[in-house]
Every structure is written in C-alpha cells, then in structure tokens.
Amino acid sequence: MNPLELRGPEFLLLYALLAAAAIPAGYLLRRVAKGAGVSDLSVRAPLSAPEIAYLRGGVGAVAEATLATLLRRGTIAVDDTGERLVLASPAGGIASTSSLESEFLASLEPGASWPAGDMRDGVAAVAIRLAEPLERQGLAFSAEEQRSLGLVFCLPMLAVLVLGLAKIAVGLSRGRPVSILVVVCIATAMATVAMFRHRPIVTAAGRDALRRARVQNEALRETASRRTANLSPDDVALAAALFGLGAVADPSLQTLQRQLQPRRREADSGSSSSHSSGSSSSCGSSSGSSCGSSSGSSCGSGCGGGGGCGGCGG
C-alpha cells in the first residue's frame, strides 16, 4: 500500500497516528542513543553543591543554589523595595566564597541593584564552566552530544513531516485541496523543532549520582523544608542544589523563590536546555500548636498535653 495514494481523510488519519507514535518512538531512539551510562561512582570525588545543582537542572539550578548561599551568607541582600538584590558584604566578606561565586561577585557593580532573574543569568554565565568536568566524568552530556540526542529524538517526527510534505506535492500535482494538510504539516514542523530543542543534559550516571546524593541527604531535606535558621550557608546551598529553592523554608529566600519560581519548575524537570540561560549576563551593568484536636491527640506537635495551652504534661 502506497500511503501517498490514500484519499485525503484516510491519509490524515494515518498521518495523525504516525505523528502520535513519533513521540514515544523518539524517546525510545534517544534512550538507545544515550546508552546505559554505567560508570563507577565509587572512584569519583564527592560532588560539590554547584555540581549537584547542575545535574538537577543545569546552570539555572546552579545559579539559584548559588544565590541562595550568597543571600544566606549575607554577601548579597534584598534591597528596601524587597524586589531587587544588592551587593551587601564588603569585599573582605567575599574571600571565603568559591571561585564560581568570586567570579560572579567580581562582575557586580557596587551600589547597583538587580532583579533576581538578572542575577541568576549572571551566575549562570559563570556556571557554564561546571559542565566540562562533569562531561569528562560521564555525568553530563557535552553540547555536541546534546545536539545529537535532540536530532535523534526528533527524527521520527521529521520522517512524518517529510511524508506530509510529499503528500502535499502529490495533491498539488493532481489539483486537489491541500490546505488542511498544510496546516497539519506546519504543526508537525513546530513539534519537530520543539523535540530537537528538548535535550537531556544529564547522563544515566549523572541521574544516578543525583539520586544517591538525594538519598544520602534525606535528613537535610526534612529539616530544610521546615526550618533553616539553624542551617549553615553550606547546608542551604546543598539543600537548594539537591531539592530546589522551593524545598528550602528560609524567609530570606522569599524574593528569590517568588521571582524565579516559574523557571525553577522548568529546571526541576531535569531536561531543559542546559546552556540557554547562561548565554548572556545582565549583571554588572544594570542600574537599577493548638490544643484539642479531634483525633484525640493532646498536643499537635506531639508533646502530649497541649503545648500551646499552658504546658504539655507528657
């Protein structure tokens, strides 16, 4: 059966089915292309918080974790408007920071202020250099590998698109109406481009390393999600790196969480374009317990006697 000889409605039905199948086929092909990614994690040095953040969500996640650390350390602060970030610590206070932080801080103009998004882009521009050592360790894909994987992912959809274009040519040669198929092919082309740009940045070994680090730091997640007053800046950095800004219950991070929340969600998906957010930086140049629960529990927090009502008793 030659699909190009099918009648219009029948061809459109076949085309729709093939397009729907192209997505799982793309995933399958990409999985095969990515390989098992098995590596010996035992011989690696422990990953730093920025490296872990990169594995979770690329340079965007690195930037968020870094800004959380700098805020917690008091190196940067939220200005009086509550909407912009400023360099707060004197130069001496920067000495103890990592090279990544130092490089970013050196790009900041003292006295200026920036929206959190701009600061994030500034850190991301510096953080891009984290990729190379992770790629060497087999934890992250290089830019070339990402492009190849994007191509593999979109190949089935591209084949469907070629079939549609061929049918348009056949239809035009026979003087048949092709307007519906043209619209469908435009949609298919857009889907193909989207699939091409949907590139994984982390290898299977990288995902495994992240999973292990999360398991090892489960107690940190429990505590950081409830109270952070007692956590060190390094604890906050690791919690933000592993679990994202939203998992850190720190009032001083509210501005970051509010302004970066949409992009955080994207980063948390773990398959965003890795380097896109680090392509430009605008930093450095901008101016601008109650008692009596019905369950019978005598104290909600577990003390057993109504801690909020004059003592626990238990």
Partner 1 sequence: MSGSRLGLGIGWRPELALLCERRADLGFVEITVENFPEGTALPRSLRQLQERGVAVIPHGISLSLGGAEPVDQARIDRLAWMAERCAAPVASEHIAFVRAGGTEIGHLTPIPRTRASVEAVVANVRRVRETLGVPLALENIAALFEWPDAEMDESEFVRTILDESGALLLVDVSNLHANARNLGADTAALIAGLPLERIAYCHVGGGAERDGLYMDTHTDPVPPAAIALLRQLSAVARPPGAMLERDGNFPPDADTNRELDAIRDALEGHESVA
Q: Which is nearer to partner 1, 232 or 279 (CB)?
A: 232
- What are the distances in angstroms from CA 53 to CA 36, 116, 143, 202? 22, 18, 18, 11
Among 3, 35, 133, 314, binds partner 1 (CB under 8 A): 314
* Surface-to-core class of residue 6, CB atoms within 10 Å of its CB (0-12 exposed, 13-18 middle, 19+ buried): middle
Contact track, partner 1, 170-209, x by CB under 8 A:
----------------------------------------
Task: Please tell me the total number of residues recorded for the chain in this structure.
Answer: 314
Q: CB 56 → partner 1: shortest distance, Å?
A: 18
Binding test (CB under 8 A) with partner 1, winner from 89, 98, 223, 282: 223
Task: Name the region of 292 (left: φ>0; alpha: ψ -120 to 50; beta: rest).
Answer: left
46 contacts partner 1 (rule: CB under 8 A): no
Q: Is 305 in the site for partner 1 (CB under 8 A)?
A: yes
Site size for partner 1 (CB under 8 A): 38
Q: Do residues 26 and 240 make contact, with C-beta atoms less than 8 angstroms apart? A: no
H/E element holding 84? strand 84-87
Residue whose C-alpha is closest to residue 138's, from 28, 55, 198: 55
Pick the closest to residue 271 from 40, 26, 22 (CA basis).
26
What contacts 43, CB < 8 A, 6 or more positions away? none
Q: Does 74 bind partner 1 (CB under 8 A)?
A: no
Residue of 222, 262, 287, 288 interacting with partner 1 (CB under 8 A) = 222
Nearer to partner 1, 32 or 219 (CB): 219
Interface with partner 1 includes 52 (CB under 8 A)?
no
Does 35 sit near partner 1 (CB under 8 A)? no
Of 41-49, 65-73, 163-171, 215-223, which part binds partner 1 (CB under 8 A)?
Answer: 215-223
Q: Which residues pair with 114 in a beta bridge?
A: 85
- Among residues 42, 179, 287, 295, which is the contact residue for partner 1, using CB under 8 A? 295
What distance in Å separates the CA atoms of residue 307 and residue 305, rounded to the nearest whole number?
6
Q: Does the protein bind partner 1 through residue 251 (CB under 8 A)? A: no
| Residue 276 is a binding residue for partner 1 (CB under 8 A) | no
Residue type, 263: R
The distance of closest approach from Cβ of residue 64 to partner 1 in the complex, given in angstroms and rounded to an integer, is 21
Q: Which of 218, 254, 269, 279 binds partner 1 (CB under 8 A)?
A: 218
* Contacting residue, 144, 229, 262, 288, with partner 1 by CB under 8 A: 229
Please name which of 180, 190, 188 lies closest in space to residue 163, comparing C-alpha atoms. Answer: 188
Our finding on whether 90 is near partner 1 (CB under 8 A) is no
Region near partner 1 per CB under 8 A, out of 16-24, 153-161, 229-237, 269-277: 229-237
Half-sphere exposure of 24 (CA within 13 A, CB side): 4
Exposed / middle / buried, residue 120 (Cβ in 10 Å: 0-12, 13-18, 19+) = buried
Using CB under 8 A as the criterion, which residues of the chain lie in contact with partner 1 when the complex forms?
215, 218-227, 229-231, 235, 289, 291-299, 301-307, 309-314
